[in-house]
Structures are given as C-alpha cells and as structure tokens.
Amino acid sequence: MGPANTAVGAAGDRGTSPGRAGDLVLGIDCSTTASKAVAWDRHGTAVAEGRFPLDLHCPHPGWGEQDADAWWTATCGATRAVAGQIDPARIAAVCVTHQRETFVPVDADGRPLRAGILWLDERSRAQLGWLDRHFGHGTLHRLTGRPPSMTQSLPKLRWLVEHEPAVAAAADRVLEVHAFLVRRLTGEDVTSLASADPTGAVDMARGVWADEVIAGIGLRPDQFPPLVVPGTILGSVSVDGAATTGLRPGTPVVAGAGDGQAACLGAGVVGPGRAYVNLGTAIAGGTVAPTYLTDLAHRTCCAAVPGRFVLETVLRGGTATVSWFMAHLADPARGDGPAAFAAYEAEAAALPPGAGGLMLVPYWNNVMNPYWDPAASGVVVGWNGGHRRHNVYRALLEGIAFEHRLAMDGIAASSGTPIADHVILGGGSRSDLWCQIVADVLGAPVRRARSADATNLGAGVLAAAGVGWYPSVEAAAAAMTGTTDAFVPDPTTAATYARLYEEVYRHLFPALRPHLDRLTELTDDIATTPP
C-alpha cells in the first residue's frame, strides 16, 4: 500500500503532464448538505454546474452521520449534470474539496464498514478528557495545530476504538471525504495533506501523519493513506469512475483541500494581511501565514498554497443558526422561504445598532477558539418587553459579527500582522445587511467575493495550477478570483459597535462561563439519569 506517513510531490509532478487539451476545470465540493460540481474557465467564471443533495442522519441526540456511499452517489449526480451541459472533453482537470473532519472506516475494497461520522457529531465529549490525560492538551495543540475539540476526527476515532473495536480493528483504511472520493474517481489510495490535517492526526510541522498519536488512540498508522501536497496530480479518472460520473477517462485528478482552506483560496487570500470570512453553515475565517505557529486564538491548518498555513477560526453555527431561528422562533405564518427572510432583513435593518438592547453570544453548538469549551452554550441578554422577533434576528447577525471580530483580533495578535483587507463569501454574504454589520463591527471595509461559491472555486484554482495553466497556485488565484461590492463602515455606527464590543460583548462569555458549564453538566446528568 506504500508509506502512510510521507508527503510527496508538488503541483503537476505526478500523473498526466500539464498542457493537455481542455479549456475548463471542474471543482467538486462534497459538503454536509450536498455535492456540487462546477466547471470553471481560466478567469474563474462558472460555465456549468450540477448539485445533488445529501441526507443527514442523527441516530442518537447530538450524533451526525451520513452513508458514505451517498457521498459518491451525490458526486456522480452532480458531475453527470455538468457533463450534460458541456462536452466532458473540455475538462482539463478535476479537484475535490469537502466537509472536513468527517471520516469513514473502509475495508480493503473501499467499502464502508459503518456510516461516516460527521464533523458536527458531538458523541466524543468524554474522549476529549481522555486525550487531555493521555497526551496533554498543549502537546496535541503544538503537534497537530489545534487543541482537541468535538469538531475534529481525533476524539471520534478514539470513540470508535472504545465503542466499536471490531470495526476499528477491521478497517483497512480510515478515509476522510477527499480520500474516499479520490479512491472512487481514480482507484488511487492517496489524499491531500490539506484534507487530512483537519482530522487532528497530522504532525503539522513535518507534514506527515502523527504516528505516535494514531497508535496512542489505538489505531495503526498503516490505516491512513499516503499524503501529497495540494495541487499535485494524484491520478486520473478511471474507466469505472468515468462510467458513473460522466467524466472522460484519463482526466487528471488534482489533490484538493478541505472546504475552509479551499474557501480561503477561492477568496483570493494567499498571504498575510488579508482575511476571509465564510458565512456558511459554520462561520470559518482566517488568514494565511508563511510559517507554522499555534495559539488558542485560532487553529492552524495546511493552506491550499503548498508550504503555507491558514490561521483559522471556526464558529460552529452560522447560517445554520439563522435557519434555526427561522424554523423555531420566526412567525410560522410567514413561512421560512425567501419572502420571510426578506421581511426579517427589512425589519432588522430598520433597528439601530445594538438590536434595541439585545445582545447574543452565538455558541449554539459549543465553542472552539478562543475558549475551546465543549460545554459552552449560547447567551442572550438584555431582554425587555418591547423586543420582537426581528430584534432577535438582528442580535443574531450582530453576535456572529462580534464573534468574528474577536477571532480576527486574536489572529492579528497571534501573528503580529494587522489585517487591513477582508473578503466575505458564502451563503450569508448574499445579505447586504449582514455584510454591512460585519464591516461596521470590524471598523474596516469588507469586500464581497466575486463568486459566492468561493469554496468550489478554490478547488478550481488548484486544478488549474495542477495542470499547468498557471505557474503557481498564487498565480492561478490572482487570475481566477476577485471581489465585487465593497461595504464601508459608517463612522458613527462603527463607533457604537466598538463600545458594545469592548465594554460588553467580549466580557460576557468569560463572566458567565463557569455557570454555563455547570448548567451543561447538570442538564446532562438529568438527561442521563433514569426517572
């Protein structure tokens, strides 16, 4: 099977040589909710696209699973839709980006041994304590770029060893989504360093699997696939892969990156001083650093640009929290469609900054950076009898913006580099109100990414660099990405938000944290105690 702990290659140095025919590249984004394929031209313009939905299963409260075979079924549905719109011979290369931390154990033939366990799954709180005791919280942070959290794969892999030992022992490979799809596309058993590192099982400074961590949790290093750097041609679409995807056999497949790193690249963020924020299901944001460093203010990922690192922050609840509001707090008579969103946007926009005295800390799904607290919960303060649903809606948008400022301030302090340029993307970026609130809270201009689908575009950029359209990933990003609308902070509004942030928001959770954590402990005890 080859070595499982080495990273090899660079853009364009394996497989089919650069310069082959084809005027488009294909990005495949297999996310939590759907697999989407987009054909991009040399200028980063979408020419054709297809989308196929994915179902999420919750067999127990707090769990999140998917049928791993459905990742392939959805991807084939998306690529066949693209192949129905354009000649597949036009596609010069394919690259996969994906939901990170999600994984599945497979047998020697690549068949799943159980359902895939998702990044949002919360079954592994007990294993976090085990990891701290066994390895040390700080040691794992320095080695893997992130402290243990329920988002990453590592504690869930330990859960698998503890609760499903037969599956753990029988697994020929443990594959994240990129590795799983690459194997189906090409037959190759290999993955990208920028897809593997979010698992929390990679030695980040050396760019190899952390064998001592893998063995320490009870798995074998040879259960993890060989690593290559992003932008490497790692194989080509096989005859079998072509038959199900509608792609042309022999089309090069380029090593991709996790959705966060791909979004960073698709936003044109390739170096220090510029940051992105992806207003997606979760809120991911960050900047790119030339050297490896760790800090509690962020987690450190391998960038889509080889040899660089993304200093990244993640809030486990972005548009998903907005959707929660629409499903559970919004007026049922309005429904939850575009018209209802538009109505709440208009009503919230008419409110002054501060949502009429309501403030929200958006830890609906606990908190990663900077507190790394799996017992954390959300906070809403300032209630009075005059508040209505649209006050809550605006407070939610403001709370996420305040949290993003907390994250960006932390990254700037950690890296020693001020952030002067911000790019906003993702589904939430379609809201002019939210974009303006982010600009006012940051006190800095925010530019909307030219493509709201910057995650998929990031895969397209890697594909273009991998087959030699451009001399480097940075050059491909310069040619294929850009920004459109600029949101400039209003000085008066920005000053109001600065006082709300400095004098209230950033103190709220630290002040309430002991009580919130105890509340979680007590209610967990109640939920697990027989009547």
Angle at 347 between CA 345 and CA 349, to 5 degrees: 65
Q: Are 148 and 131 in contact (CB under 8 A)?
A: yes
Q: Is 212 exposed, middle or buried (0-12, 13-18, 19+ CB in 10 A)?
A: exposed
Number of Cβ atoms within 10 Å of the Cβ of 73 = 15
Q: What is the pLDDT of residue 10?
A: 38
β partners of residue 65: 57, 117
Q: What is the pLDDT of residue 530?
A: 55
Q: Are 314 and 368 in contact (CB under 8 A)?
A: yes
Mention every residue, 6+ apart, whose C-beta is less than 8 A from residue 505: 359, 361, 399, 402, 406
Mention every residue, 6+ apart, whose C-beta is less than 8 A from residue 90: 22, 23, 24, 39
Q: Give the total residue count for the chain.
A: 531
Number of Cβ atoms within 10 Å of the Cβ of 40 = 28
Which of 467, 430, 473, 450 shows the shortest CA–CA distance to 44? 450
Which of 74, 76, 62, 182 shows the shortest CA–CA distance to 123? 62
| Phi, psi (rounded to 5 degrees) for 209 | -60, 140
Q: What is the pLDDT of residue 5?
A: 37
C-alpha–C-alpha distance, residues 173 and 193, integer Å: 16
Q: SS3 of 309, please? A: strand
Q: Enter the DSSP assignment of 427.
A: G
The H or E element that residue 282 is part of is: none
Q: Are 187 and 249 in contact (CB under 8 A)?
A: no
Q: Are 47 and 24 in contact (CB under 8 A)?
A: yes
The H or E element that residue 183 is part of is: helix 177-186
Q: Are 99 and 30 in contact (CB under 8 A)?
A: yes
Which parts of the chain register pLDDT below 50?
1-20
Which of 288, 284, 285, 286 shows the shortest CA–CA distance to 305? 288
Question: Model confidence over 221-238: pLDDT tens digits?
Answer: 999 999 999 999 999 999
| Phi, psi (rounded to 5 degrees) for 137 | -55, -50
Q: What is the pLDDT of residue 170?
A: 98
